[in-house]
Amino acid sequence: MNSAVNVATENIVVERDLTKTKDTAMETKRLPGDLAMWFFILAELTVFAIFFIGFAVAEQLNTEMFTQGKAKLHQISGLINTLTLITSSYFVALALHKMHQGFGNQSARLLLVAKLIACVYIGVKIWEYLSLFEQGIDIETNTFFTLYFMITFFHLMHVLLGMVILAFIALKTAKNEYSVSNISGFESGASYWHMVDMLWIILFPLIYII
């Protein structure tokens, strides 16, 4: 009788442990942010993939024009913009972890730093456009510059939208509207910003380097 009770108790303990392990696995396999944001991110990535493939095909059809066009671009400004977006993304990742720890004010400050660094990107991009306009180059110059202005301006719009989202989550963080258990909106905004960074990481070598 006693041994039967012992076996039953052991079985219950094993089942509890299994449930705990399953719960832990469920916790660790959580998608950060809202599901809707991830579908939106996939849609954005698809649109940019079409642009990138279109640019590569157009380059193969107009090799000389694209080589001359790329020579007129300021590669260092592209490099600075890549470094700024990566650094801005890094500060957003740090801000999210501060929020996970429950340090809302520190998190809001890190988001502000991320936004300020993103402002450098905006400044450099505007300078780059203006210097091309001064050389008499615009969207109608040739196929290369049509695609260059279209793709980079479309990306710039995403950076601006990302900055609005960062400002929104920074404000909510400063007002203590997020908590360790209610952080989905913050994670969604952060994921969007990382997507903007990831797109530039493909755009930069494609348009400026290769």
Partner 1 sequence: MNITDTNKKNTLSWLWLLALTVISTYVNLFLSFFNMQKSLFISIVLFIVFLKGQQIIDVFMELKQAPKLWRRLLMAYVILLPIIIGLIYLV
DSSP structure class, residue 207: I
With contacts defined by CB under 8 A, name the span among 56-64, 110-118, 152-160, 168-176 that binds partner 1: 56-64
**Alpha carbons 2 and 8: distance in angstroms, whole number:** 10
Instruction: Annotate each residue in 171-210 with x if it binds partner 1 (CB under 8 A) or - if it does not, as one string.
Output: --------------------x--xx-xx--xx-xxx--xx
> How many positions of this chain bind partner 1 (CB under 8 A)?
41
Nearer to partner 1, 79 or 120 (CB): 79
Q: Which of 47, 49, 139, 164 binds partner 1 (CB under 8 A)?
A: 49
**Alpha carbons 51 and 185: distance in angstroms, whole number:** 29
- Specify the residue for token string 């990742």: 93
The closest alpha carbon to 125, from 71, 166, 85, 167, belongs to 85
**Residue 127 is encoded by which pair of tokens?**
């300078």
Instruction: Say how many CA atoms lie within 13 Å of 83 toward its Cβ.
Output: 8
Using CB under 8 A, list all residues that contact partner 1: 28-32, 38, 42, 45, 49, 52-53, 56-57, 59-60, 75, 79, 82-83, 86-87, 89-90, 92-94, 97, 100-101, 191, 194-195, 197-198, 201-202, 204-206, 209-210
